[in-house]
Structure 1
Amino acid sequence: MKLKFIAAFLFVTLITFTGCLNEHDPDHSHDSSFYIDYRSLKGLPDGIAVIELDPEAPDFGNISSRLELGIGVLPHHIYYNQNAKKMFTTALGGSYLYEIRTGEDQNGLPKLIDATPIDTGENTVGENLFFTTDGRYFMTFMGGAGGPKDGSIGVFNANNNQLIKTIKAPIQANPNQFIMYPHGISINEEKGLMMVSSTIHPDLTTGMGNTCTLLDLNTYEIKETYQVADSPTDLSAPVEVLLLRGKFPQYALATTMLGGDIWIAPYNTATKKYDAFTKIFDGSTKGLGWALEMYIDDSNKLYVSFADPGKILVFDINNLPQLKLLKTFDADKGAHHMAFFKTKSGKEVVAVQNNLLDLPNLNSGTVSVIDINTGKTLGTVDLRNRYGILPESIEGTNGPSSYMHH
């Protein structure tokens, strides 16, 4: 009888433990805990951490779980798949792409379990992901196969993470239609269109881009390469692109890293492409540079990060192509990715990850938590001095922490 009881106990324990290691569970709420990709400043392995970001919580700023990926891996962007059951991080080094397995600890808090490298073929320097509803996902590789004017897009099977195809279009073959140093990616499945930006060579010196390229989502053929700069010689480095879709006005938006601006292109129903890009916000007029990420909430507000001097600008997009500036939030130098949530008392806040590639004057290494109604900074976590790490990106532990990003 005692042996049967022990066996039953072990079976229940095993089932319970196994359940804790299942894929991500979007139905379980831990809304103020977040995943951050980080780089070590002490020569230790880079990795991913779980951190509490509610300034009202007693453990604000505490890291409760870590997963080391390796020295020099430089994890870069965290993503969920279509149903938020699986989580991935891209990386500038290491294996360039990893699937991350998560679970919960004995207190029900998010816990990082392990990382599985994904074969990216010849493609190097992983940047952004986009998951489509038909079982594919797309990834930009800023380094491509490693050439001085390289870059590629990987197409993967979302069920088994197998690389299906590598999309390449060298500028040497066609200087009018090409893919080079791709970073940002956005897809409009209804229109069958995909757009990628041309940013900068991974070594940050060999070359820079000033275009965005539109592709057919199914044939992978290039439809057009657009200049997103004041002139052909203006190396503006478009970094993120967003094809507005669904209920939003049908435009393409792009931010320019070195230009520090926001650009827009209207969708043309006759050509089934976008028309030329024009600048709709000049960051220099506001003392801003290094325009980076774009996030849109469900009330037609656009949040854009400017790494220099570290600001978040909030725009009304109800009357595109006109942008109406509503608010400006103070973050820290290197203001980059964002995550949106509510504090324990119900305050609506945005957490801003302040660091861009550990570049001088753009690498505060903090996370600012800002009340989006008052603009007041409610709390700041100094990861640089507290933990000896720099945050690279941020994402919710309960699924995506924004309404629309790419």
Structure 2
Amino acid sequence: MSASVPEIGAENSAYNIEQTQALVLLSGLPTLGTTDSIAIIEMDPDSAKFGDILYDYPLPKLDAPMHHLYYSPNGRLYATGLGSDCSLAEINLVRNAQAEPMIDKFECINTNGQNVGEDIMWHSVNGELYMFVTFMGGSDLSQIDAGTVGVFNPQTNEIIKIIEARQSQVAEGKPYIKFPHGISAYGDRMVVTSSTHPAIATEVGNTVTIIDLNTFEPIETIVVEDANPVGFPSSPVEVLFVRPSIVEGVKPAVLVNTLFGFETWKIPYNEQSKVFGPPEKLYDGATEGTAVPLEFYGNEDELFISHGMPGVVKRYDLKQLPNLVSSGADIKAESGAHHMIFYKTATGRKLIAVQNNLLNLGDAKDDDPTDVDFIAKLNDHSLTVHDLGTGERLGEINFKQRYKKGIDNIEALFGSGFTHHH
């Protein structure tokens, strides 16, 4: 996430029709006979083509869906994948002879055996740019304490180092990395979360780990947990290192969402001593009526946090970070509220679109063997579009009803105006 990204369209006086088009990862649903793809869809609720798939690129058959889309600082497009066949890929998004956007290549990247890719972050260390990727399954999915962070050359995509510290293989009290999911960094300190084993029903974490980027070694593991409202460990999921590039003059701190703890935490950071303070709970979903907090997103003025249950996006004053001070009423989406994009229509109306889907597993009522009851409750398979200022819902696209597919992720086409959480 960066507070320095200009408002969408501010760089062009003329309206660009592609500003209301989005790139989505779609998953075929096992009982409906559909297959995975990457699509470009129209997102202007005032358009007759709202919700139409303008372009669809079929993905190869893999052991699990692709999960996240990311643009690198120089505009290259990447995706992480939830399986072992293709845990990380680069996608060549180009224009054809008519200047229309299209995909001409989908290429899996060699991860040296790392499985179940989740988040990607680009960060400079001592003047050199790296691509960091969290792999929840690490080098062996059979490990109950699996998980690695891959360090890649951002130009060649070659693996430079695998950061691994299994809890069962380090001395008691030493830092470890387990099921890393969220990732964020400031200066020479990187933080990754310990969420859940990719099998979901087995092991669950309750920590974040600090990595020294001078050595690429873990140096501290911090427990982030209080109540256990569903009987599981807290499962920290996404993380945001609040830093001066986001809020000028801010006291740096780490914000952490806990999937099963239903909470948002703050871990203060002393930039001079490089010491992290004790975690402080900022938001308690169990008492506030929300569950499954997921993503951090932001624009120039606000921080947005999605909560999968009941399906809302909460908004906070960016300038008040790292504390959470409400900046408006909740945006009411649907169950599984997750990823977002921000964009403008041709009339200049500022919008937010929310993807309402946690994971594209099936539903028991469809006799789908991939069903997990808890996850199925967080799958609305939809995008809802709202006025950014008022939160008013202006439209909805249900991919399961319309296209017999689920939606895994949404990104702005060519990355215009999209601000991610790292």
For residue 345 of structure 1, report the CA deviation from its aligned partner.
1.2
Q: So what's the TM-score if we normalise by structure 2?
A: 0.85
1:377 aligns with 393
2:149 aligns with 153
2:65 aligns with 74
Distance 2:236 2:65 in 1: 22
1:144 aligns with 138
1:51 to 34, 41, 46: 41
Residues 159-170 of structure 1: pairs in structure 2 closer than 5 A: 159-170=155-166
Q: Does 1:195 align with 2:191?
A: yes
- What code does the residue aligned with 1:369 have? V
Residues 269-308 of structure 1: pairs in structure 2 closer than 5 A: 269-299=271-301, 301-308=302-309
- What code does the residue aligned with 1:47 have? S
1:40 aligns with 28
Contact 2:226 2:261 in 1 (8 A): no
Unaligned runs of 5+ in 1: 1-25
Q: So what's the TM-score if we normalise by structure 1?
A: 0.88
Unaligned runs of 5+ in 2: 1-10, 361-374
Q: Does 1:388 align with 2:413?
A: no
Distance 1:131 1:291 in 2: 24
2:376 aligns with 360
Distance 2:379 2:200 in 1: 16
- What code does the residue aligned with 2:394 have? L
- What code does the residue aligned with 2:306 have? S
Distance 2:320 2:415 in 1: 30
Distance 1:116 1:321 in 2: 38
For residue 231 of structure 1, report the CA deviation from its aligned partner.
6.7
Contact 1:135 1:159 in 2 (8 A): no
Q: Does 1:186 align with 2:184?
A: yes
1:121 aligns with 112
Please state whether the residue corresponding to 1:284 is helix, strand or coil. helix
The runs of at least 4 aligned residues of structure 1 exceeding 4 Å deviation read: 26-29, 231-234
1:5 aligns with none
Distance 2:270 2:26 in 1: 41
Distance 1:45 1:152 in 2: 29
Q: Residue deviations 1:41-61, cap 9 Å, x none?
A: 134432211111111122110
Q: Residue deviations 1:57-101, cap 9 Å, x none?
A: 2211011112222334301000011122x1000001231111001
For residue 142 of structure 1, report the CA deviation from its aligned partner.
0.2
Distance 2:254 2:129 in 1: 24
Please state whether the residue corresponding to 1:45 is helix, strand or coil. coil
1:17 aligns with none
For residue 32 of structure 1, report the CA deviation from its aligned partner.
1.0
**Against the structure 1 CA distance between its residues 202 and 234, is the aligned structure 2 distance closer, same or farther, given a 3 Å change threshold?**
closer
2:368 aligns with none
2:121 aligns with 130
1:345 aligns with 347
**Against the structure 1 CA distance between its residues 169 and 129, is the aligned structure 2 distance closer, same or farther, given a 3 Å change threshold?**
same
1:60 aligns with 50
Work out the percentage of aligned pairs sharing the same amino acid.
36
Q: Residue deviations 1:346-370, cap 9 Å, x none?
A: 1111110110113211000000111
Q: Residue deviations 1:280-333, cap 9 Å, x none?
A: 01112221000000012212x210000011000001243345322232010011
Please state whether the residue corresponding to 1:375 is helix, strand or coil. coil
**Against the structure 1 CA distance between its residues 106 and 58, is the aligned structure 2 distance closer, same or farther, given a 3 Å change threshold?**
farther
Contact 1:295 1:402 in 2 (8 A): no
305-314 or 353-362: bigger deviation: 353-362
**RMSD of the alignment, in Å?**
2.0
